[in-house]
Amino acid sequence: MQKWRIWLLVLFFGVALSTTLAAAQFLLFPNFRIGKTAPDFKLKTITGKDAAFSAVRAGGNTVLFFWTTWCPNCSREIAALDEKINKLKADNIQMVLVDVGEESRLVAKYAAERKLPPEILLDEDGAVSTQYGVVGIPTYVFIDKKGVIRGIENVFPEDYQAFFRPS
């Protein structure tokens, strides 16, 4: 009877420790991609067109937004997307939406219901989000005119312009 209590305590503390370590990676270790050149990629849009990121970005300041339809935090971010896109446009920054791991049909339906732009890119196998070091969603990746990743955030920051100021 006593052994199961010991194993239960070991299990409890093991889960607590692993959860703490997982959270610490976000707080203590910056994403390995920050300061490096943003990888180029080609994905399909929800309308079936091929899109190369280099052509979409066209040498301008860009925000990549990685998200999914099932993520509650993504839905909150998407609800405020019009305001964000308008702010970014005013600062000559474009936003590129990248859905992670979902089929075109599902994303297209979600986008139509929320009146999202049809240029949503589909990272169906998650390869692009892995290239960018995306650990959780939603994730914003801030890329400057030179193609350098300046920041990676899980919430859209108020002072997003700081990522695009010359260093």
32-164: which CATH architecture?
A: 3-Layer(aba) Sandwich (3.40)
Which pLDDT belongs to residue 110?
95
pLDDT along the chain (167 residues), means of 10: 64 50 49 86 95 89 96 91 87 94 95 90 95 92 95 92 87
Which pLDDT belongs to residue 113?
93
Cis peptide before 117 (omega within 30 of 0): no
Which pLDDT belongs to residue 18?
45
Which pLDDT belongs to residue 70?
95
Coil/strand/helix, residue 96: strand
123's CB contacts (< 8 A; 6+ apart) are: 43, 66, 98, 99, 100, 101, 129
- Residue ranges of the domains in the chain? 1-30, 32-164
Under 8 Å between Cβ of 108 and 122: no
- The runs of H, that is alpha helices, within the chain are 2-28, 53-57, 72-79, 81-90, 104-113, 127-131
Which pLDDT belongs to residue 135?
86
Total-model pTM: 0.81
Which pLDDT belongs to residue 11?
54
Which pLDDT belongs to residue 81?
85
